[in-house]
Amino acid sequence: MSFKQVQPHEVAALIPNGATVVGNGFTMMGVADEIYLEIEKSFLSKGVPNGLTFVHAAGQSNRIDGLARLAHPGLLKRVVGPHWGLNPPMANVLGADEVEAICLPQGQISTLYRTIAAHRPGQLSTVGLGTFVDPRHDGGRINDSAKAATASDEYVSLMELDGKEYLFYKSFPLDVAIIRGSRIDPDGNMSQEDDVTILDNLAIAQAVHNNGGIVIAQVKEIVERGDIPAREVEVPGVLVDYVMVTSDPAKYHRQTNASIEVNWDLITGYASPEELGQALLSHELEPTRVAIGERGAKLVRDGDIINLGTGLPGDSIGRALAVSGQIANITLTVESGTYGGVPLGVVDFGCALHPAAIIGHPQQFDFYNGGGVDITFMGVGQVDGEGNINVSAFAGKAIGCGGFMDIVDGAKRICFLMVADSKHPKWVPAVDQLTFYGKAALDKGQEVYLATEHYLVQLTDEGWVVLEVDDNDAARATASQVITKK
């Protein structure tokens, strides 16, 4: 064998104290959960490994398992990632300033793996300009310990090229890769045919290998040479150093959180637009959320390529398009790399039933960053009269921006969805954290809307303008109270 096989109890000892570790995964898809468990067990019983910097390009938890297992001060020194909304243990640790927190956009981390692998110094992007990622603000440092320990431009600096401003996302060394596959042969060639997403395995393995680090793979089984066709190899054997066969695939090698072993007829089987519409309409949805989705979906045009954010957009927009009959004339996409089908939500966000195509995580963000999305629908935490949005920090918890910044930066049209009658005030004088900079979007010529159960508004240079409001006094009063001018 070209790799060394290790048992679960041996895997944590492979990771040096103080190493920079990078792991693959999205919700619970592609997550090497048993390796995370063994690292946690080793730290709690022996105190090692410790002082780790952990890097991840997407949230990897179902609130309990996955990356939530590593939420221990001391085990972690620093986390560099995009989102912890489905990882309360990590959000609390970072929010309490017990571990340094660097929040960078999901797509920039995902594509940076390839930049690191190629030994390029970094990558230029307009993603994050004017937000908390901009070094003129916090440079992605979202707690005091990170601000004290790192220079504001350690991960991101500001550059000008041909008179235009960009953020320069810098390359940095990666020491240990934790990846996951379905099968591996004696030469280390690893497949992912059982996974519902492709994600970042290859780029992570290349980046760590080219940095002189080690690549650890969790797999379900070791097969004979020739059992994996060359076209099904996702990570070639020259990149894999250690292999751990999971002790319990049903428990530690989930394909999604809800379904341990995926029904591949649902994932890859064809479904007609009518069948997709029936699937989208089969789930009960609270009337307020239905109304918001239907109002926002009026902005959709035939032929649109649509991105759906998690939460309210994922719950309501597909359903609304099924009701209107437009589902046959558009393409729904999710940042994990799916096209078409019925996107799932919450801890299964990133997976779709009956997708037309599944591509890699970095390739999806190349598409998004380059303007491939006609309209994106995103949720709202806070909004102000300037058109600024916060989705990343609330009540002392580090939520993070996820793929939000990458997607809204490239989309031609942006529609934020929000419950107006929320128990938590959404309209504020100034947002707590700047995740979306309204002026920058207008300067780029993007169309920006916000839809609620009562009204639809559009952001202009003069502030928010009412386009549509329910025909009753209460709705008109609500709209007039929250629409603030500059």
Q: What is the pLDDT of residue 215?
A: 98
pLDDT band (50, 70, 90) for residue 83: very high
CA distances, 236 to each of 192, 196, 256, 445, 470 (Å): 12, 20, 25, 43, 58
Q: Matching CATH topology for 4-252 and 266-481? A: yes
Architecture of domain 4-252 in this structure: 3-Layer(aba) Sandwich (3.40)
Residue extents of the structural domains in the chain: 4-252, 266-481
Mean pLDDT for the stretch of residues 352-372: 94
Q: What is the pLDDT of residue 483?
A: 59
Q: Does 42 or 150 have the greater pLDDT score?
A: 42
Mean pLDDT for the stretch of residues 59-69: 95
Is 335 one of the catalytic residues?
A: yes
- Which residue type sits at 365? F
Superfamily holding 266-481: Glutaconate Coenzyme A-transferase (3.40.1080.10)
Q: Does 37 or 474 have the greater pLDDT score?
A: 37
pLDDT band (50, 70, 90) for residue 201: very high
Q: Is the pTM of this model over 0.85?
A: yes
Mean pLDDT for the stretch of residues 392-407: 90
Choose the weakest-confidence range: 87-101, 218-232, 313-327: 313-327
| Distance (Å, whole) CA 157 – CA 166 | 9
pLDDT band (50, 70, 90) for residue 396: confident
| Distance (Å, whole) CA 267 – CA 196 | 7
Q: Give per-residue pLDDT as tens, 142-168.
A: 999 999 988 777 899 999 999 999 999
Q: What is the pLDDT of residue 261?
A: 47
State the catalytic residue, choosing from 34, 38, 234, 335.
Answer: 335
Mean pLDDT for the stretch of residues 122-132: 97
Mean pLDDT for the stretch of residues 361-366: 97
